């Protein structure tokens, strides 16, 4: 847990105690722990919507990144709290910010299967084809984990932008990963949407070879 007692208050939902401390020292809003996280990061991580909104109203930096370049929006997208995601986006959070591994907020929403969060991010122009440092797109993540509801969102709402056959660092397409993980329904959705079945990866395997 946090090395900063202020961040601990935010994570634990100690709203009144946090407000009292803020009244006596307004600089606590940007106080960092050893990981570079401020109270906003921890309030988001703890899903403390009331504290998140309070911190934002008091001027907390919305896009402050920790040592690993995680923003509050990335955390909210990962934990799947749509209301907090909305609050951050309304305050101008950068939807396509990337962290040290090249992941965006949409990567995390797709990986965790958070449909409403993914929809909110896309409505604010999240890059549906963003690539992490391994070349994976949000569709790679959703397909490999069998989050068909998120896959459908990408296919039905963003087909004109979506790179169905994007290849990651080892040449795998989303269909490769769906087949490798035995996500038969996901693979069916991808094929029906027009994913190619004949693309080899870097070890010359087509999707159905898995």
> Does residue 114 lie within any of the structural domains?
no
Residues spanned by the domain of 206: 136-210
- Give the pLDDT confidence of 67-100 residue by residue, as tens digits: 999 999 999 999 999 999 999 999 999 999 999 9
> Does residue 10 lie within any of the structural domains?
no
- Give the pLDDT confidence of 37-60 residue by residue, as tens digits: 999 999 999 999 999 999 999 999
pLDDT of residue 210: 67
Specify the number of domains making up the chain. 1
> Does residue 185 lie within any of the structural domains?
yes
* 0.85 surpassed by pTM: yes
Separation between Cα atoms, residue 34 and residue 146, nearest integer Å: 36
> Does residue 98 lie within any of the structural domains?
no
Residue 17 has pLDDT above 70, yes or no: yes
> Does residue 36 lie within any of the structural domains?
no
Q: What is the CATH number of the domain that holds 209?
A: 1.25.40.20
> Does residue 1 lie within any of the structural domains?
no
Average pLDDT over residues 107-133: 99
> Does residue 106 lie within any of the structural domains?
no
Residue 103 has pLDDT above 70, yes or no: yes
Average pLDDT over residues 133-161: 97
Residues 6+ apart with CB under 8 A from 199: 165, 167, 171, 173, 175, 176, 206, 207
> Does residue 71 lie within any of the structural domains?
no
Separation between Cα atoms, residue 209 and residue 68, nearest integer Å: 37
| Percentage of the residues of the chain whose pLDDT score is greater than 70 | 98
């Amino acid at each position: 847990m946090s090395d900063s007692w202020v961040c601990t208050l935010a994570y634990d939902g100690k709203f009144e105690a946090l407000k009292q401390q803020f009244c006596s020292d307004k600089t606590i809003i940007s106080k960092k722990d050893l990981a570079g996280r401020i109270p906003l990061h921890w309030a988001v991580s703890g899903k403390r919507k009331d504290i998140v909104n309070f911190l934002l109203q008091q001027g907390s930096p919305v896009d402050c990144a920790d040592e690993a370049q995680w923003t509050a929006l990335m955390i909210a997208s990962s934990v799947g709290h749509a209301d907090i995601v909305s609050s951050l986006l309304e305050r101008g959070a950068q939807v396509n910010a990337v962290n040290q591994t090249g992941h965006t907020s949409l990567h995390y929403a797709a990986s965790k299967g958070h449909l409403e969060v993914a929809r909110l991010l896309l409505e604010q122009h999240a890059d549906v084809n963003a690539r992490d440092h391994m070349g994976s797109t949000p569709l790679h993540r959703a397909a490999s984990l069998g989050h068909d509801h998120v896959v459908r969102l990408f296919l039905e709402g963003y087909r004109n932008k979506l790179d169905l056959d994007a290849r990651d660092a080892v040449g795998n397409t989303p269909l490769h990963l769906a087949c490798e993980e035995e996500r038969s329904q996901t693979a069916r959705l991808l094929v029906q949407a027009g994913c190619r079945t004949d693309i080899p990866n870097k070890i010359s395997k087509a999707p159905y070879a898995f």
